[in-house]
Amino acid sequence: MTLLVFGQTGQVARELQRLAPDATFLGRAEADLSDPEACAAAIVAQAPHAVINAAAYTAVDRAEDEEELATRINGAAPGAMARACAGLGIPLVHISTDYVFDGAGDAPRRETDPVQPQNAYGRSKLAGERAVTEAGGPHGILRTSWVFSAHGNNFVKTMLRLSETRDALSIVEDQIGGPTPAADIAAACLDMAAQLSADPAKSGIYHFSGAPDVSWKDFAEAIFALAGRKVAVSGIPTKDYPTPAIRPLNSRLDCGATRTAFGIGRPDWRTALKTVLAQLGETGAEMKT
């Protein structure tokens, strides 16, 4: 199966390069997502068997001031990709986010639950979901959360950097979600692309996040324990850590439909965290489980 991937330097794209080195990867120089029709043209020119969109506008806070750009990249570009894929009769796997929900309650969100994004980034990603669905071709939209890896910018690397100069940190404890390893997202995308090629009837929106669900405070403590960093972590409510974009308190995702349709279960982020820390050259105490 020939595979075309949008994205080169992002966390999931880097893992896709490792898992599928024979795929064609298009970075901004080859296909700028701010030019949706150029993305569609690239698909038609390549004529692959499947496409994965692992590129996006991900600056959540900056999107509050750049919503038009974020929507063009996260909404219009995936729509153009999906229409090109539909014309060729090939599947598109597109990565989305838990931010399409309002973050209320404490129950894991299902794919069929009402969407109500609370920030510009979430609205832009929802626009992409709708555009991909409306294109009518084979597709898999994979909503995920709290992505981490040894690459790019993410919570794990931020915590390690802060621990170099701080022995105490206050971390938000009322936002709950599933940290998700980029490597597992990449593997899930490849599996979905192959299965959708064989069975387009599996098209739809699916959820995928790491287990177990934890708070950012819990996640930070696990990072420090595994890395052997002596940092005292205290919990604070979201209201004490204001950001330009509203963050959802409830990022839990019900991933049962993904297991049923594709046989893909939730990865244990604690296992993946050990791998990521090893990749970063971090060694320390074993985390108690």
Q: What average pLDDT score do residues 15-40 get?
A: 95
CA–CA separation, 110 and 5 (whole Å): 27
Mean pLDDT of the chain: 96
Instruction: Indicate whether 283 pLDDT > 90.
Output: no
Residue 284 lies in a domain: no
- 121 a catalytic residue: yes
204 falls within a domain: yes
Rounded average pLDDT over 31-52: 96
2: pLDDT strictly greater than 50: yes
Residue 111 lies in a domain: yes
Q: What's the pLDDT tens digit per position in 124-178?
A: 999 999 999 999 999 999 999 999 999 999 999 999 999 999 999 999 999 999 9
In a domain, 103, yes or no: yes
pLDDT at 218: 98
- The domain of 262 spans 3-153+179-210+251-267
CATH code at position 110? 3.40.50.720
User: Residue 242 pLDDT more than 70?
Assistant: yes
Predicted local confidence at residue 284, as pLDDT? 53
CA distances to 149, 171, 226, 269 from 289, in Å? 21, 21, 11, 12
First-to-final CA distance of the chain: 40
Within a domain: 288: no
The answer to whether residue 286 scores a pLDDT higher than 70 is no
Which residue among the candidates 57, 121, 206, 241 is catalytic per the annotation?
A: 121
C-alpha 4/C-alpha 48 separation (Å) is 6
Q: How many domains does the chain have?
A: 1
Q: How many residues does the chain have?
A: 289
The reply to whether 159 falls in a domain is no
Q: Is residue 288's pLDDT more than 60?
A: no
pLDDT for residue 289 is more than 60: no
pLDDT digits (tens, 9 = 90+) for 255-270: 999 999 999 999 999 9
The answer to whether position 244 is within a domain reads: no
DSSP strand pairing (50-53 vs 24-26): unpaired
